[in-house]
Amino acid sequence: MRGRHFVYDLVEDTNVVKKPGMKIILNQFIDGVGETGDVLTLSPAKAYKNFLVPGLAVYATPENIAKYKVDENKPKDKSNFSSPYVQRTMRCLSRLVLQITMSKTEPWTLEPWHVRTSFRKAGFVVPEDTITMPPVKISGPDLSLQEKEFYVTVKINNKEEVNVRCRIHHWATGLEKLPWDEFHWKKPREPLIPEQAAELANIPLA
């Protein structure tokens, strides 16, 4: 045999071929995934890594289908949410400490568009009409507000409501500028409106 007898051609690279989905059965309730006995069809790599190795699911063998009494025609109970991603959005918003930057020198009254702008600065596009302002009128500049917090309510998809923790920061330049408070978003603050105190205590501060 000579070298010319060992010239090979690549016919197919099986590592880069898309693999068909694989069926697995959950053997316990997993938040955001499903309940015991639910059948998932996933890519083999994901199913293996995320469910089979940790022991959260089993292979859809005939024995396991009988064991977990799988009913594939079972109607999926309709979720009450307006979109599949709304829970994630709600979680993100409830984690947020919204800094509302207001002038330290010019007089102002807090309005929805201030809140909308602050949301946009924090990376959330929130239309004005979905924001419910606190029941009292907040106006400044008033440095005592710096140590207070309140919440606004945001309505997502005209259905779900989230309370977002807000704090007012007085902004100025030069010597007027307030000193930097390290990790201010982690520190607990007094509620501005006594009626909101209970609700604010419910929102976890990261």
Partner 1 sequence: MASSRIQATVRQLSNTFKKKSRFDIGIASELPPAYKKFWREWKVLKPAAVHFIPQESKWKRDELTGETLPVQNVPIPLKHPAEIHEGIWGGEAVIKGFQKRSDQRRRVPHYWVPVLKRTVVRSEVLNTHLSVTVTDRTINLINDHYGFDHYLLKTPACDLVSMLALKLKKQILIELMNGCPRYANNPQKQKEIYNEYKTYLSSYTPEEIEWYGLTWYEALSKVAKQKEAQNKPVPLKNIYRKKLVEKLKAAESEDKNDATEEISTTTSWLSKMNPFGKKDEA
φ and ψ at residue 193, rounded to 5 degrees: -110, 120
Q: Which is nearer to partner 1, 17 or 175 (CB)?
A: 17
**Does residue 206 sit in helix, strand or coil?**
coil
Query: Is residue 39 involved in binding partner 1 (CB under 8 A)?
Result: no
* Whether 26 contacts 33, CB under 8 Å: yes
Q: Which is nearer to partner 1, 25 or 115 (CB)?
A: 25
Binding to partner 1, residues 57-76 (CB under 8 A): 59, 61, 63
Task: Produce one character per residue of 36-48: b if its CB has 16 or more CB atoms within 10 Å, e if not.
Answer: ebbbbebeeeebe
Beta strands 97-103; 160-171: pairing state: parallel
Cβ proximity of 138 and 192 under 8 Å: yes
Among 32, 55, 107, 123, which residue sits at the site for partner 1 (rule: CB under 8 A)? 55
According to the binding rule CB under 8 A, does residue 49 interact with partner 1?
yes
Cβ 66 to partner 1 shortest distance, Å: 13
Of 10 and 125, the one with the shorter C-beta distance to partner 1 is 10
Residue 61 beta carbon to partner 1: minimum distance, rounded to whole angstroms: 5
Query: Rounded to 10 degrees, what is the CA torsion of 192, 193, 195, 197?
Result: 0
* Sole window of 54-62, 124-132, 143-151, 163-171 interacting with partner 1 (rule: CB under 8 A): 54-62
* Residue 41 near partner 1 by CB under 8 A: no
| Helix residue spans in 48-132 (DSSP H) | 62-67, 86-95, 112-121
The answer to the question of residue 48 lying near partner 1 (CB under 8 A) is: yes
If you search the block for the tokens 């955001």, which residue do you land on? 32
Q: Which of 33, 52, 86, 90 binds partner 1 (CB under 8 A)?
A: 52
The neighbour count for residue 80, using CB atoms within 10 Å, is 8
Number of residues interacting with partner 1: please give it, by CB under 8 A: 24
Contacts to partner 1 by CB under 8 A: 3-4, 6-12, 14-15, 19, 22, 44-45, 47-49, 52-53, 55, 59, 61, 63
